[in-house]
Amino acid sequence: MKGQIVGYVRVSSLGQSTVRQLDGIETDRIFTDKMSGKSAERPELQEMLKFVREGDTVIVHSLDRLARNLDDLRKIVTQLTAKGVTIQFVKEALTFTDKRDSMGQLLLNILGAVAEFERELIRERQAEGIAIAKRNGVYVGRKPSLKPEQLKEIQLKLDAGVPRSRIAKDYSVSRQTIYSAFPV
């Protein structure tokens, strides 16, 4: 019996499009995560790992869509192939099965390490850019949730004994916002 073709797609944020990743590839089912790949604890990835069976093929656009660090990449590929699942990476033209392939393992390790290195470089550049923007007074962070006049009103309510949870609800903010602005 022929197994199913299962796609796995990941983008880092809700606003990003998943369309290009498996464009034109026929699948029986696609699992899509819209979150960072820094951790393997992604709901759709975990669901896909439970779903696939021996004889199935998992297709992923590229190595970095499956995992952003080498340890997670190796673990996921090993977990899939140990179940008798084939995994294909379209961009890198790599296929892994339960049959040991030393050249394939070498490429997996090298390309996985490159993806991890690339992620670290992006984080470093981002931190450098933020530091420069802060130094130049350009980066001011997120706008405050509460305006100065609202803070004065809230202080009066707190002094009157109004619970913080009620104040948070009245101003449509989290309780943590109130606690941050007015520590106990």
Q: Which two tokens stand for residue 69?
A: 């660090």
Of 117, 128, 9, 22, the closest CA to residue 68 belongs to 117
For tokens 């998992």, the residue is 58
Contact 173, 153 (CB under 8 A): no
Q: How far is CA 31 from CA 14, 51, 58, 146, in A?
A: 15, 10, 10, 39
**Is 172 among the residues known to form the active site?**
no
Contact 43, 33 (CB under 8 A): yes
* Partners of 30 in beta bridges: 7
Positive or negative, the CA dihedral 89, 33, 119, 97 is: negative
Report the catalytic residues: 12
